[in-house]
Amino acid sequence: MLIAQISDCHIQADASPLDALANPSDTLAAVVAELNALPVAPDVVLATGDLTNDGTAAQYAELSRVLAPLNIPLLPLPGNHDANDIFCQIFSAQLPASLANGHCSYVVEDYPVRLVGLDASVEGLHHGDFDDERAAWLEDTLAAQPDRPTLVFTHFPPFASGLVFMDISGLRQIERFRAVIAAHPQVRLVATGHLHRTVCTTIGTAAVTGCPSTFLQLGLDLRPGRGSFTNEPPGYLLHRWASNCFVTHTATVCASDSFDLSDFATQVIEGATESNDYLPGR
């Protein structure tokens, strides 16, 4: 199974000072085009929040326009820059019929890996919260299928990244979330957004990844009180499920030269097959 992840698109409907670095509609359109053109098509695309910048109807209309060419099933979640009511209306065709009460959390059972989307956003606030209701929902959801490999996707990272101003506006009650994940070893990957960078860690036996933005990346400056956007290329993640584990690839969307190694790759594969050598991922 191949799962793509996009995040933090921050679509706007009007001009912005950040247009001097990049336009969020243009960068998301480039990511959509690349996803559609991948030689191995993803089974699904997870969109982990902050899909608009202010949660307005005009921004969601623009987001819908840019996402319309995507020919891969999309599973979206809101972030702290989204507005849940409009979000659920706009994505009514993509979201399952059964959502959690009071938050846009849901489960998709249609793939080899169980996909659990947790909405920890709090309307009108920059931080998220793993409160009693969400903790009970996630615990019950994971306990219902303890033997199925599971990916949990959510907007807010359940760890301190060292980007202090982002951590402050991150997830409240992190240790509570980590305890639930650690108690359910069928969770093999937790996929998050919010940080506008690729960041990796672990919780128990689960890998945890932060996704780059399809718009602008945050500068990698770990000094408290410092923050910046950089015009590093827009990016996305590919999570490959094979041999009972996830392997995550970071992709950037930018013009680049390449040298075709297909003939050499074929020789290596054919040589390994003839000699009965181990072929990874088989």
Could you read off the pLDDT of 209-245 as tens digits, one per residue? Answer: 999 999 999 999 999 989 999 989 999 999 999 999 9
Mean pLDDT of 101-107: 94
> Based on the number of CB atoms within 10 Å of its own CB, is 37 exposed (0-12), middle (13-18) or buried (19 or more)?
exposed
Give the position of tokens 């969307």.
253
pLDDT of residue 260: 76
For the chain, percent of residues with pLDDT exceeding 90: 81
Cα–chain-centroid distance for residue 1? Answer: 16
How large is the average pLDDT for residues 188-215?
A: 97
- Is residue 8 within 8 A of residue 52, CB to CB? The reply is no
pLDDT of 33 higher than 90? yes
pLDDT (mean) for 90-107: 94
Is 70 exceeded by the pLDDT of residue 208? yes
What is the pLDDT averaged over residues 252-281?
70
Sign of CA dihedral 217, 221, 222, 225: negative
Among candidate residues 1, 3, 103, the one with its CA nearest the CA of residue 46? 3
Tokens of 235: 């990016």
The pLDDT > 70 percentage for the chain reads 94
Closest CA to 51 of 96, 105, 90: 90
Looking at per-residue pLDDT, the higher value among 5 and 261 belongs to 5
In the prediction, which pLDDT does 126 show? 87
How far is residue 118's CA from residue 186's CA, in Å, rounded to a whole number? 16
- pLDDT confidence of residue 183: 98
pLDDT tops 70 at residue 278: no
CATH 1.10.3720.10 at 2-274, yes or no: no
The Cα–Cα gap between 212 and 164 comes to 17
Please classify residue 71 by burial: count the beta carbons closer than 10 Å to its beta carbon, then call 0-12 exposed, 13-18 middle and 19+ buried: exposed
For 126-184, the pLDDT digits (tens) are 899 999 999 999 999 999 999 999 999 999 999 999 999 999 999 999 999 999 999 99
> 111 pLDDT band (50/70/90 cuts)?
very high
Place of tokens 């689960």: 206
Mean pLDDT, residues 258-272 taken together: 72
- Over the chain, what is the mean pLDDT? 93
What mean pLDDT is predicted for residues 255-273? 70
